[in-house]
Structure 1
């Protein structure tokens, strides 16, 4: 990755790392999973509508030939991913959810080989493998839940695969659109199917706690809107596999934020796993940079 891609990806990872605790806080405060995922993307969609209507933005509509692809990617990357995450977090803690989602770089690297002809070097595959070991250690070291193939965990694994496909195929549209435009299209497309959760929404909003409302507002504006824009900028500036490898360090921030926000204390083994995951990102980018210079 170049400097711009790395900075944008890092900003995104910090923002996204906070989303898992925000979701848990909203669920604990009275939101149901369906209502929460709908509310946060209604907020994000509204933010993009305001941006599009701002006269100085010169917001463009998508080309007709790209509409179907945008719709499908919006359903995969927004609807499927966030529905799986939100329902999965009913039984899986914020830190553990982030660890499972952090497996996405492996799926992304595999998909990118076939879709984008991006072939990682042998050392990059080794780096990805080391990162997976780090994720496993973080999961095993979680103080409140050991890794198990539960219904919630399976939903989150499906979400990880969905977001991997979304990242890869999103990149093919980035040369034609600005990142903020493309993110708005995906957000609007992905929000439409979520309207199925609208029955009973008013009652939930009225009964939820103030903290739950603030958490829902936060995850709607920052992880759901701003985070996807900065991520699109990162993807437009670097290889999909290399950029997505930054997701390995997301659990580190997720655990720290959950520690402060939800009092979920990380264990020593979790910290060791986080350090290993961070080292894998450094390895992947170091070897890819050396390979490009040698080529």
Structure 2
């Protein structure tokens, strides 16, 4: 199935605001908010947004089925809690642009999981596209790390985030057949927030001593990347194939580099620009794989 306009638009919105989140996280950390408090604060905001939406007159949220409750809980803790733990704590020592490059490896995991878990067909062009995208991400990383401070533990935490978020993207696909994208995103957000309450002690005091820019950055990532970004991504997944849509994430590193350049004055090198062009080329190649033969499931539908 070719990437349709609805899936493309929704995935693009997610990728752009997710790409900007790395710089916003960095600003929050540099402005005095601790990593743990930043994660909890952004998810309290996002959870509150979904609670207000669910309480709106005329909005009906159906409760998760008994068989889905545990699956939603586990996916939330893996794809939400572990992901944000890895990225936020990793960014304490890794720059925003480099973080975006490392998270950009996520589509490789997502596409592979989609093939083996969802039995989605990935043609030769799809595999070539993934390879090109990975090379592009590698080039961007090499062009960014030369002027950025990082350590091994921070890099490993961020790569863990890239892996676990791909698990969420793939395994939530069947759930989107039983729940709306907004419902599922709300359940993931509420459940994913629970582990972050271990950071609650000292939250108010920490926010009181943080800079205004850090507070505004935390509000931004709580509303846009956390709430809106996951909602639009769920809509995209419900409208297209997980392996094809995941290729859009190759654009995220480019957005991350540009945002960190504008916001944090982290100038991208020519190598980074070349890597971005290569990464986008990988997206185009993966999308062209839609002309390959469909899966058995798609034919039956």
**TM-score, L = length of structure 2:** 0.95
Offset from partner CA, 1:88-144 (integer Å, 9 cap, x none):
000111111111111111111111122100120112111100000000110111152
Pairing partner for 1:190 from 192, 205, 222: 192
**Count of paired positions:** 293
Question: What does residue range 124-163 of structure 1 map to in structure 2 within 5 Å?
Answer: 124-142=126-144, 144-145=147-148, 150-163=152-165
Q: Find the aligned partners of 1:235 and 1:149 in 2 and give their Cα distance.
A: 34
Query: Residues 262 and 283 (structure 1 numbering): CA distance in 2 closer, same or farther, change over 3 Å?
Result: same
2:62 maps to 60
Deviation per CA, 1:259-285: give whole Å up to 9, x if none: 111111100000000010001000100
- Kindly provide the CA deviation profile for residues 57-113 of structure 1, in whole angstroms up to 9, marking residues without a partner as x: 222221122110000011011100001000000011111111111111111111112
The answer to whether residue 50 in structure 2 is matched with residue 23 in structure 1 is: no
Q: Deviations over 1:183-203 (max 9, x none)?
A: 000000000010001111111
Could you tell me which runs of 5 or more consecutive residues in structure 1 were left unpaired when the two chains were aligned.
none
How do residues 90-239 of structure 1 correspond to structure 2 at under 5 angstroms?
A: 90-142=92-144, 144-145=147-148, 150-239=152-241
Query: Is 2:32 aligned against 1:41?
Result: no
Match of 1:253 in 2: 255
Mapped to 1, the partners of 2:148 and 2:217 lie a distance apart of 23
1:225-281: CA deviations, max 9, x gaps?
000000000000111111111111101111111111111110000000001000100
Distance in 1 (CA, whole Å) between partners of 2:25 and 2:119 is 36
For residues 289 and 94 of structure 1, what CA distance do their matches in structure 2 show? 36
Residue 285 (structure 1) aligned with residue 287 (structure 2): yes
